[in-house]
Amino acid sequence: MSAFWRLLRKELRELARPQYLIPLLMMPLFLVLVVQGGGAAEEAAGQRPVVAVVDNDGGAYAGIANETLHHRANVTAYETGFSRPQSVDLLEDGPAKLLFVLPENFSERIEAGQQADVRIYSTLQQVSITSGAQSAKARALLSAVDENITANVTGASPAALHPTTNTHTTFVQGTHVEASPGVLSGSVSQRFFFLGFVMVLAVFGSGTLVINSMGSEKENGTLETLLTMPVQRRTIVGAKLGASAILGVVLTAFYVGVFYLVQPNNGGAAVAQLSALDYGLVGLSLLLAIVDILALALCLGVFANDSRGAQSLLMPISFLMMVPVFVTNFFDVASMALPLKAAFYAIPSTHPVIAPMELAFGDTTTVLLGIAYEAVFATVTIGLTVRLFGSDRLITGDAGHLSVIFDALQD
Amino acid sequence: MSSSSEPVDIDGLTRSYGDVQALDGVSFTVETDEIFGLVGPNGAGKTTTLRILATLLEHDDGEVSVYGRDVADAPNEVRAAIRYLPAEAGAYENMTGRQYLEFVAGFFADNPEKYVERGVEIADLGERLDDDTSEYSTGMTRKLLVASALMTEPRLAILDEVTTGLDVRNARRVRDTIKAYPDGDRGVLLSSHDMLEVSYLCDRVALLNAGEIVDVGSPEDLCDRYETQNLEDAFLEATR
């Protein structure tokens, strides 16, 4: 067995230790919770609302309102002449989550051309970000009631009530999509936000693995022995990078697998599906981003005092790696100032994150340029790593002018 | 120089860490069939010297060669000739003792079984050799590391505080192994705080203080030269 394979096997055995892998394998749990939570909220929003109705009016327009509510919702209780406490009891007894109370003068006010007040009561088990869905359901029901009453009062046809329809076309990156910016944004966000997040998690996980390995070598006193073996330093670097890249790819496959498992229908129809070639380019971009962060982490690992110090050194890089996911979803990159834009594109993890979106809109050139940049970044960083491994900085931990920063991070 | 040169030839070696002059013109040789000791207090420059010889540290000035190969110009050839055992070395915790020996031996031979067998013998860990090294005591780990350093029969064994962490019985056993190690083509360079150990093991000793060699000689010659009963007193006299 050659020295490289011997070292690669050793590195794989080192990196695949449960204490390193278990936290990384647990990470997708967070993703599952977020996606499942969002899915549950969406599912709840799409369901027929369960409501109770108290009709204290009994007039013609209250009848239209009742009819509309029965048509649009699952009415589990219908009462008349209830007091407020009695009405509220209806909600408390369940299963309705919404209660519509039509007051005594409901029809009379509408006949007089005045607005009639409908009292709505809601019940929540717990206040959360998904609670807004309930008020949206109430608004939709009331809107339907309004429409039916208006049609009855005015005799207007549905076309008269809604005299216009629209087809929204959005131009983006030189292509056009038959959807509004809102629909498009929702579709892109749904399809690419979590995918980007998953990819960045994989990049971060790989970096964590390799820097842990470096910290562990220093802490356990195995590094000096390893460096005096009759083997080229670049072979040692190659084995460390190779082993962590292998585990990084496995980790990525696991994360992406979990992603598709929890969100199989990822993305709306507004954006074109990616081809096999597109997926190949995204994969290549992701692989290069993993190599970039691994080489960077190995460079930083040279200056780590121990495992804890290694983690501290990786922390700023980890945050930086996360930036592209949030920038692409919450900011308009095209309108950012040039230095910010340059900084955004300089982060290696930016490119796999933006690649699916760029490819979906037909911008292959940006993706190819990104891949070229990542390849250059990898070449330079690996070269620097080999150079650092060939020097005695690995033993002295001397980072020159950067020592102040590295020491501060590890204190 | 040819490969039949001295195991170690150091001339005018200097090394500094920032403003601190760790080594200042250190010169000595280690001959074949010899155990050479570096003796000195903490910070004297012993470990720095050993690390430079082991190709781990670069030096600022001077000539340093192992069997005629310059450590800076031919580090891989030097590494092939040596085994270095650092003072605070450890073994990979997820390997058993036997796996660790096999891992190291594999770098020195395509069929390393012979080396591993010798390593098993030197380590003398019995059935514990098949336990993970994470379950080893400090002494057991040290015995394993000594075995891994000597089993491949390096032409030059560089041993830093070799018996650290060993109990009296095991320390004695390791010393006996080292004592028997040199032959016509092999040498040992070690450093130690333990003057008794150095006196027992070493054919010649360099007294190192504040980065400079104060004196070199056999333990007996040094004791005679400074008119002392033991090496410790000789060192104190020499560095007074």
Helix (H, G, I), strand (E, B) or coil at A175: strand
Q: Residue A6 and residue B84: Cβ atoms within 8 Å?
A: no
- pLDDT (0 to 100) of residue A38: 59
Segment holding B188, helix H or strand E: strand B187-192
Rounded distance, CA A338 to CA A347, Å? 15
Q: Do B205 and B231 touch, CB atoms closer than 8 A?
A: yes
Q: Residue A221 and residue B88: Cβ atoms within 8 Å?
A: yes
Share of chain B above pLDDT 70, in %: 98
Share of chain A above pLDDT 70, in %: 91
Instruction: Please tell me the distance in Å from B228's CA to the nearest CA on chain A.
Output: 37
- State both tokens at A119: 């009292």
For the segment A175-199, the average pLDDT, to the nearest whole number, is 75
Rg (CA), chain B: 18
In A73-131, which residue ranges form alpha helices assigned H by DSSP? 84-93, 106-111
Helix (H, G, I), strand (E, B) or coil at B7: coil
Interface test with A, best of B58, B150, B155, B159 (most A CBs within 10 A): B58
Task: Kindly state the DSSP code that residue B132 receives in the 8-state scheme.
Answer: B
Q: Do A14 and A213 touch, CB atoms closer than 8 A?
A: yes
pLDDT tens digits, B161-217? 998 878 888 899 899 999 999 888 899 999 988 888 999 999 999 999 999 999 999
- pLDDT (0 to 100) of residue B2: 43
pLDDT at B96 over 80: yes
pLDDT tens digits, A55-87? 888 888 888 988 898 888 888 888 888 888 878
pLDDT tens digits, A196-240? 788 888 888 888 888 888 888 888 889 999 999 999 999 999 999
Higher pLDDT, B226 or A89: B226
Q: Do B132 and B118 touch, CB atoms closer than 8 A?
A: no
pLDDT tens digits, A103-150? 888 888 888 888 888 888 888 776 766 667 778 888 888 988 888 888
Cβ burial A39-50 (10 Å sphere, 16+ → b, else e): eebeeeeeeebb
According to DSSP, the residues that pair with B37 across neighbouring strands are B190, B205
Which residues in chain A touch residue B103, judged by CB atoms under 8 angstroms apart?
Answer: 6, 10
- pLDDT (0 to 100) of residue B1: 42
Least confident span in A42-56, A197-211, A263-277, A288-302: A263-277
- pLDDT (0 to 100) of residue A236: 93
Long-range contact set of residues A305-311: C-beta below 8 Å, sequence gap at least 24: A305/A218, A305/A397, A305/A410, A306/A215, A306/A218, A306/A219, A307/A212, A307/A215, A307/A216, A307/A219, A308/A215, A308/A410, A309/A215, A309/A409, A309/A410, A310/A211, A310/A212, A310/A214, A310/A215, A311/A208, A311/A211, A311/A212, A311/A215
Instruction: Please tell me the distance in Å from A256's CA to the nearest CA on chain B.
Output: 29
Q: How far is CA B12 from the centre of its chain?
A: 20
Q: Do A246 and A7 touch, CB atoms closer than 8 A?
A: no
- pLDDT (0 to 100) of residue B167: 87
Q: Residue A227 and residue B56: Cβ atoms within 8 Å?
A: yes
- Any A CB within 8 A of B19 CB: no
Confidence of residue A271 (pLDDT cuts 50, 70, 90): low
- State both tokens at B28: 């000595």
Confidence of residue B3 (pLDDT cuts 50, 70, 90): very low
Residue A198's nearest CA partner among A322, A86, A331 is A322
Q: Do A49 and B142 touch, CB atoms closer than 8 A?
A: no
Q: What pTM value is reported for the model? A: 0.78
Q: Do B82 and B154 touch, CB atoms closer than 8 A?
A: yes
pLDDT tens digits, A339-375? 999 999 999 989 998 898 888 888 899 999 999 999 9
- pLDDT (0 to 100) of residue A382: 94
Rounded distance, CA B239 to CA B213, Å? 10
Neighbours of B143 (CB within 10 A): 26
Interface test with B, best of A2, A7, A13, A225 (most B CBs within 10 A): A225
pLDDT at A265 over 80: no
pLDDT tens digits, A26-48? 877 776 776 666 555 555 556 78
Interface predicted TM-score (ipTM) over 0.90: yes
